[in-house]
Amino acid sequence: MDQRNTRTPKPPRLLLDGLFAFPPNRETLGGTAYFIVEKPGNILLDCPIWDEETQQFLKEQGGVKSLLLTHRGAITPSVKSLQAALGSEILIQEQEAYLLPDVPLTPFEQEITLISNLTAIWTPGHSPGSCCAYWQRHEGVLFTGRHLLPSTQGEPTPLRLAKTFHWFRQLDSVALLRDRFSSDTLNYICPGANTGFLRGKGLINDAYHKLKALDLLSLRQHPISL
């Protein structure tokens, strides 16, 4: 018997009150999806592994009001199935919307408020329509998709990859986030991939100071990572 098919799927992990992280999804090259539980409506950030266990978990938590896709690499073929099963609104920055021509969407340009304390922010660079999501709870949590990822030391950093859409725009987007927040408004970063580098912590704390410490001028000369 193939032991790979008999393993019990890992359940979502509780990171903070009202915040779960799903196991990495092979369909998004190891991407991590997050789930926020809020009274006005629960929010799913990017696509988790879509199976019976995930569907049951989301229904038990009260369903999904909205699914926010932070970049094109977070899209999976299960988007339509998820929407059909849960009746969720799907939000995506307008420059990525063409990738889902047969799916009812809510595209946005610069920013959009999903619920009163959660805002999606356009941060182009990694992809044309890359975005982050800012949750006001827990002194500020920023979900960065692949816009900012953990380094091998677990520090938040933009990565210049072979598929990076526009490196300088990505760095400009990092600067806008740095200038938008403060030590009082940004406490955690939840990256959309590379979470193994967090050494089991699941998120990046002291987020604003680590974001402010980035040397964006030096990063403009950064070579492409494979």
Strand residues in 5-101 grouped as ranges (E): 13-16, 19-21, 34-36, 43-45, 66-69, 89-93
Domain that holds residue 170: 8-219
Q: Domain containing 50 — which CATH number?
A: 3.60.15.10
Q: Rounded distance, CA 128 to CA 166, Å? A: 8
1 within domain boundaries? no
State CA 151 to chain mean position distance.
Answer: 16
Q: Whole-prediction pTM value?
A: 0.94
3 within domain boundaries? no
| Banded model confidence at residue 223, pLDDT cuts 50, 70, 90 | confident
DSSP letter string over 46-58? S----SHHHHHHH
96 within domain boundaries? yes
224 within domain boundaries? no
Query: How many domains, in total, are found in the chain?
Result: 1
| Predicted local distance difference test score (pLDDT) of residue 24 | 94
What mean pLDDT comes out for the span 172-185?
A: 97
Residues 60-106: pLDDT tens digits? Answer: 999 999 999 999 999 999 999 999 999 999 999 999 999 999 999 99
Q: Is the dihedral of CA 177, 182, 184, 188 positive or negative?
A: positive
